[in-house]
A and B are shown apart, each in its own frame.
Chain A
């Protein structure tokens, strides 16, 4: 991931948020090697900007006006349909699991809360640009909850989509505890790269599995 940032000249960003003030705030805290090429305030603007500008990373708010009312998830889904190469990082104040999970399932590569520290945000953007997944502790908590932790069943093979492997569970638990990827790696005696692989695998399962648990779990909490 470090070689990624060294080799890349400038990271091109599009910021999608319906609050201009928040966009300005984010832009002012971004480091110099990030270049904000576009901004958008609603779903249709966002899709147009992303497909036209083809940025490396899109900072995507979960709640957006316009379009069919699908918010950030709709943007991610429509861009994915348009074969956009841009990677999405969801940025939200929402704590509602459905909001977060739906935007991830629509194709976002990570989720962080808007209260994130500027350094951590820059780090997350670089990680997403490098093709990795970014899980905040809260998202890791959602994942564990939705996969039925703590009594969850362990996947025998990594290919099983509806379950997490034992290692993936461990990684998720540590992230939920507030560990950074590096700390997770140190704790489990694996490299940061391996941690990233596990997190990406969890992301893939979240996106691809039939996920009856998620629906059931969300329904049980009257979220759907």
Chain B
């Protein structure tokens, strides 16, 4: 690990890290532009920040550059990208090495402070200074104040267009989460107010208000004109996405049919004289297709019903005898159901060897009770010989189940056939048995 890490950092010294903005929290305070630049240029992050602030004070050039980079530079982990470039086969399984975070982790004391609070606070202080200082007010206040308001509004709205969230916002067609809506509306209002104050400075209140009304009317008019176009754009986008999804789905179905059904059909044609093989192929294919069509296969180890069904499939594949499975309810597998599944397996094998198809397998499962029934249709039987014949199997079924507190009942059905019933009950909340 340590030896492997030395390699990419060595590479970073000669070859520059890609320009990306770190993710929120990982050394990112406003937009992560300074941290990203620092990593890219190989400079200490404080120096970059100081330079940015200095540039911002030079007529706002730094602010504009910052905003530009904020919008255009993607979010990512530069070290990770670098490592992937250096060794694409190495899969990251461990936490990022310390050196990746030490330059950004030096000031842990303001980690917990919200970035937007800081920015807003800073802007408010500037506004307060501007208002308090008469000389500034008279000289610069006329444009500084509205400019700050506009900037605040723009920050609020633009922060939404952060690369990270852009996709999500588009997906929700306009940012439907209440918080983002508030931010969007608040930002727009601030910008509009700022622009109005900016443009209307030096005029009296009445003119300013009528100008504001006119401006809002124009904006509303434009919005009304553009709304249908905008809505259609959104709708087209959604439609296009849905169509693409459908096409993908169709491609998947076609691929599946080709891999399974067509292959099986070809095999059936080749072995059409062997009826046993044909019916086995057909059954296997049917089962596979059915499972693919109708069942969301549950995660392994979460469904007793799925285990029982698998058992029937295994028996069919092993012996070529179809099993009719009916399952009612389901349960989470544990030791007890494990024993039940094993006993059921024995019972099925027994039915396949000694009985005659069709063989039925029934499972009824709940929290309190497990019921399994395996029945075959063997004809005319000699009870003694069967008892002897099946003694071992019966022991392995009965022994297994009774050790776990269950009962096994082997019964002969008058019309022919044998049924093995396995039942397990769990004591507990019996009070709502017959409520």
Residues of chain A having any CB pair with chain B under 8 Å: 93-96, 137-138, 140-141, 144-145, 149-151, 153-154, 173, 176-180, 182-183, 186-187, 222
Contacts and interface: CB of A to CB of B under 8 A. Distances in A.
A186 B329 CA distance: 27
Contact of A178 (B286, B362, B414): B362
Contacts of B274: none
Interface of B: 286, 290, 294, 296, 324, 326-329, 358, 360, 362, 364-369, 371, 373, 375, 413-415, 419, 434-435
Given A177-B373, A186-B414, A222-B296, A140 B366 contact: no
B290 A95 contact: yes
- Complex A-B, nearest 4 residue pairs according to Cβ-Cβ distance, in ascending order: A178-B360, A141-B326, A150-B366, A177-B362
A48 to B, nearest CB: 31
Contacts of B419: 177
Contacts of B365: 150
B328 A176 contact: yes
Given A141-B362, A150-B329, A180-B415, 19 more contacts: A94-B294, A95-B294, A96-B294, A140-B326, A141-B328, A150-B364, A150-B368, A150-B371, A151-B367, A153-B435, A177-B360, A177-B362, A177-B373, A178-B362, A178-B375, A183-B413, A186-B413, A186-B415, A222-B296
Nearest to A221: B296
Nearest to B411: A187
A150 to B, nearest CB: 4
Nearest to B329: A150
A176 B366 contact: no
A137 B327 CA distance: 10
A173 B375 contact: no
Nearest to A96: B294
B326 A149 contact: no
A8 to B, nearest CB: 26
Contacts of A176: 326, 328, 362, 364
In this complex, the member of B286, B294, B360, B362 whose beta carbon has the largest number of chain A beta carbons within 10 angstroms is B362
Nearest to A172: B328
18 contacts: A94-B294, A95-B290, A138-B324, A141-B327, A150-B368, A150-B369, A150-B371, A153-B434, A173-B362, A177-B362, A177-B373, A177-B375, A177-B419, A178-B326, A178-B358, A178-B373, A178-B375, A186-B413
Contact of B324 (A93, A96, A137): A137
Contacts of B358: 178
A69 to B, nearest CB: 18
Nearest to B330: A145
Nearest to A138: B326
A179 B435 CA distance: 30
Nearest to A186: B414
Contact of B366 (A151, A179, A182): A151
Given A177-B375, A178-B375, A183-B413, A150 B328 contact: yes
Nearest to A145: B328
Contacts of A140: 326
B324 A173 contact: no
Contacts, number: 69
A78 B222 CA distance: 54
A149 B329 contact: yes
Nearest to B415: A183
A86 B288 CA distance: 36
Nearest to A175: B326
A190 B230 CA distance: 72
Contact of B364 (A95, A149, A153, A179): A149
B36 to A, nearest CB: 44
A137 B364 CA distance: 13
| B364, B365, B369: residue with the most chain A Cβ atoms closer than 10 Å | B364
Contact of A145 (B329, B371, B414): B329
A222 B419 CA distance: 34
Contact of A137 (B290, B326, B366): B326
Interface-centre pick from B324, B328, B360 (highest chain A CB count, 10 A): B328
B328 A178 contact: no
A88 B366 CA distance: 34
Nearest to A222: B296
Q: Which of A138, A150, A178, A186 has the most CB of B within 10 A?
A: A178
A119 B37 CA distance: 81
Contacts of B360: 137, 177-178
A150 B328 CA distance: 8
Contacts of B415: 180, 182-183, 186
A2 to B, nearest CB: 16
B232 to A, nearest CB: 29
Nearest to A150: B366
Contacts of B290: 95
Contacts of A94: 294
A119 to B, nearest CB: 12
Nearest to B369: A150
Contacts of A153: 434-435
B414 A183 contact: yes
A91 to B, nearest CB: 16
Nearest to B361: A178
Nearest to B377: A178
A95 B295 CA distance: 9
Contacts of A186: 413-415
A137 B360 CA distance: 9
Point out which of B294, B358, B375 has the most chain A C-beta atoms below 10 A from its C-beta.
B294
A187 B362 CA distance: 17
A140 B434 CA distance: 22
Contact of B368 (A93, A137, A151, A154): A151
Nearest to A99: B294
Nearest to A143: B328
